[in-house]
């Protein structure tokens, strides 16, 4: 992976798809134009229209029998223990994990790929915090 820099004006779904293909990662584009990167988990990448930020996120379902209090306790534990990603639970019970990567001023291609790999690592740590089996 190259240490070549990319700048906000060069950040779009096609450029990111090429970047992850060059890193030999499993990548595709969904119908909304978001990138899907698969490793042990699946995450989505959505660049802001101006290219200054890249949203990296993953969505998981919840155990239908899990209590709301247990879901909230889990989210609080993840946000306390796993510092680099943010976790939330939606009104319909889905778990949302996200991270924002700043591209303002430029970023190396290697740093973008490594940020996604770090996100996957943090996601694994977050899922290991699920001691009450609230994530489906």
pLDDT digits over 61-114, tens only?
999 999 999 999 999 999 999 989 999 999 999 999 999 999 999 999 999 999
Closest CA to 132 of 75, 59, 58: 75
Q: What is the four-CA torsion angle of 103, 43, 16, 39, rounded to 10 degrees?
A: 120
Q: Please tell me the predicted confidence (pLDDT) of residue 87.
A: 98
Q: Please tell me the predicted confidence (pLDDT) of residue 1.
A: 58
Q: Among 9-13, 78-82, 121-125, 127-131, name the one with the lowest average pLDDT.
A: 9-13
Measured between alpha carbons, how far is 74 from 80 in angstroms, rounded to an integer? 10
Contacts of 68 (CB under 8 A, 6+ apart): none
The answer to whether 112 and 47 are in contact (CB under 8 A) is no
Tell me how many degrees the CA angle 107-52-28 measures, rounded to the nearest 5. 80
pLDDT digits over 38-66, tens only?
999 999 999 998 989 999 999 999 999 99
For domain 5-128, the CATH architecture is 2-Layer Sandwich (3.30)
What residue spans define the domains of the chain?
5-128
- Percent of the chain residues past pLDDT 70, beyond the cut: 99
């Amino acid at each position: 992976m190259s240490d070549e820099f990319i700048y906000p004006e060069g950040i779009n779904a096609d450029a990111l798809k090429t970047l992850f293909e060059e890193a030999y990662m499993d990548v595709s584009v969904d119908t909304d134009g978001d990138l899907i990167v698969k490793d042990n988990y699946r995450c989505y990448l959505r660049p802001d229209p101006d290219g200054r930020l890249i949203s990296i996120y993953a969505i998981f379902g919840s155990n239908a029998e899990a209590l709301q209090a247990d879901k909230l306790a889990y989210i609080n534990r993840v946000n306390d223990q796993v510092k680099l990603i943010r976790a939330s639970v939606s009104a319909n019970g889905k778990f949302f994990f996200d991270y924002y990567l700043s591209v303002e001023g430029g970023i190396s291609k290697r740093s973008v790929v490594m940020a996604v790999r770090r996100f996957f690592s943090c996601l694994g740590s977050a899922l290991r915090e699920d001691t009450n089996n609230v994530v489906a």
